[in-house]
Amino acid sequence: MRKILPASIRRSRMFVCVCAAVLVFAALSPVSAEEQSLKDGARHAGQAVGTAAHDIGHGAKKVGKEIGHSAKEAGKAIGDAAKEGGKEFRRAVKGE
């Protein structure tokens, strides 16, 4: 059975994986002194990491909104059930 992890742990793992992939890509890409300087390589790697972090942030925002909407609906359902339970208890006490 697959264990479902909280969103914060999934985001953290995803971020670490993306960063690791960017670092591996940067290390394995053929870089010669004539083509790119070290500064340009660092800039490109930084942009890739920033883009990945931005995308992860947007995904986390969507997940957070979904969690918030689900919690709102669950809260409403619980409140309605409690309200109905209270009405039934009142009727029982009154003898209706």
Q: Is residue 2 situated within a structural domain?
A: no
pLDDT, tens digit (0-9, with 9 covering 90-100), for 9-41: 667 777 776 767 766 666 665 555 545 677 777
Residue 49 confidence class, pLDDT cut points 50, 70, 90: confident
Q: How many separate domains does the chain show?
A: 1
Q: Is residue 1 situated within a structural domain?
A: no
Q: What is the DSSP string of the chain?
A: -PPPPPHHHHHHHHHHHHHHHHHHHHHHS---TTT--HHHHHHHHHHHHHHHHHHHHHHHHHHHHHHHHHHHHHHHHHHHHHHHHHHHHHHHHHT-
In this prediction the pTM is 0.45
Q: Is residue 35 situated within a structural domain?
A: yes
Decide which of 33 and 96 is more confident: 96
**In terms of residue numbers, what domain contains 13?**
7-94
pLDDT, tens digit (0-9, with 9 covering 90-100), for 69-92: 999 999 999 999 999 999 999 988
